[in-house]
Amino acid sequence: MTHNKTLAADMAACTLTISCLCLLVPTVASAESVAATLTQWGLLGPHAKDCSKPASPSNAYFSYVGRADGSAFLSRDFGVGNTSNDSVELEAAMIEPSGTIVLRLTSSNRTQGSSQIIGPAGRATFSNKPREVSHIKGPDGRVRTMFNREVGGDYSVSDGKLVTTGAETPWYTSCK
């Protein structure tokens, strides 16, 4: 009988150990840096609707920049003299099984408050609150935003359309 109790205790310990190790797998798998994930997906560098034209409110440049420590940020350029140019920290990046990339970002300028950019597709508001953004990649390598939302809050883009106007989000080309 003690042999059965010992065997049962060994099996329980083994099961507990395996369960604990399984809990660690997502942590280990997500240990890849944000910059490495952006590189893997092909998102590093500047992107614009038309790379042959300068940055402007209707042709913003979005540059994803990786740092040596593995962190990354997004620099937004809406044209010369535009006071809405800024950068946001990319806190996390995850490639989903569908192939989309989901980014979590936060403004690095804690004193900025909210800013509004008015472009041909409508008004976009940026705040210091964390946001999640999802991009898809077309067969030609261009990138399109499918959703953009304040974490725990409202969407500014849903299903690839601006919530305020219903206009489809544009495709952006890598300007490398």
The per-residue pLDDT for range 51-107, each reduced to its tens digit, is 999 999 999 999 999 999 999 999 999 997 766 788 899 999 999 999 999 999 987
Helix, strand, coil in percent for the chain, rounding step 5: 20, 40, 40
Cα dihedral angle (171, 92, 111, 125), rounded to 10 degrees? 30
- Tell me the C-alpha distance between 168 and 149, whole Å: 16
Residue 36 makes CB contacts below 8 A (sequence gap 6+) with 66, 70
Which of 98, 90, 99, 81 is CA-nearest to residue 40?
99
Residue 79 per-residue DSSP state: S
The per-residue pLDDT for range 119-169, each reduced to its tens digit, is 444 444 556 789 999 999 999 999 999 999 999 889 999 999 999 999 999
